[in-house]
Amino acid sequence: MPRIVKAGLIQASTTHSGSEEPTVIRDAMIEKHVAMIEKAAAQGVQVLCLQELFYGPYFCAEQEIRWYEITEQIPDGPTTQLMCELAAKHQMVLIIPIYEVEVEGIYYNTAAVIDADGTYLGKYRKNHIPHCHPGFWEKFYFRPGNLGYPVFRTKVGTIGVYICYDRHFPEGARALALNGAEIVFNPSATVAGLSEYLWKLEQPAHCVANGYFIGAINRVGTEAPWGIGEFYGQSYFCNPKGQLIAEGSRDQDELIVADLDLDEIREVRDTWQFFRDRRPDSYGDLVKP
């Protein structure tokens, strides 16, 4: 029997200006996304990923401690618990990016992974943290991840997560493949003029090099009051041959859905023997500080 998985991505604009209270924005964005999750369920989506820091604007455009107010524990925080309930209700695997607090003063950019029966499976913490112009001041908010590159065995297949800036680093993308990932989700927040020329190059290349599917998400719109650029959407699914098989619009709130044939993974890997022909004994210099 073919292993066909109906997968979804949500790209969305923010509901409020970043000048509003963080908790007000959080509540409105969660409400907005719950409605979009319901839409995905109605379309039969089996696994769904939300965008990076989904319940806020991209607040890393400034460096202000007020955004610490919307950190939550994982899995005991209210957003993870809500999403566990929704996953069970819709029998849907969910990947939910959350601003995580481990202890006060230690915060991570994290994604919780929830199985289709509502079971919390674990989390991925973003490993590579940018701090660069025109307004990606993430080192103010996040500690680098310390959980490695885990994969999660779900009802629909083995899932890996990479978050935004991680996608520029092929080492972690390969580690996810070696750990068994069949589908890698990359929730992002990135703007035109900075990364757009890379958006459809890097991650298709990861698919080719590693023989897996990727679901790449970018939010949409221009976020006040910062105006660091246009979040250009164009969320997509890419197959193990590096081909885009579904793509969202540039500027609309949207659910992107694709049927992923996981049998393609073996077909591609049987043709291109990259894993057989690797030479890790010769790569030592790559991991020197």
Cα 22 from Cα 108, distance rounded (Å) = 17
* 3-class secondary structure, 256: strand
Tokens 């839409």 found at: 39
Going 157 to 155 to 13 to 66, the CA torsion angle's sign is negative
Q: How many angstroms separate the Cα of 110 from the Cα of each of 98, 161, 170, 262? A: 5, 10, 19, 26
* Catalytic position from the list 32, 49, 52, 84: 52
126 is catalytic: yes
Cα 51 from Cα 218, distance rounded (Å) = 6
The C-alpha angle with vertex 31 and arms to 147 and 223, in degrees rounded to 5, equals: 75
* Catalytic position from the list 49, 60, 84, 164: 164
207 is catalytic: no
Host H or E run for residue 108: strand 106-114
Cα 184 from Cα 27, distance rounded (Å) = 28
Q: How far apart are the first and last CA of the chain?
A: 47
164 is catalytic: yes
* Catalytic position from the list 60, 84, 126, 207: 126
Catalytic residue list = 52, 126, 164
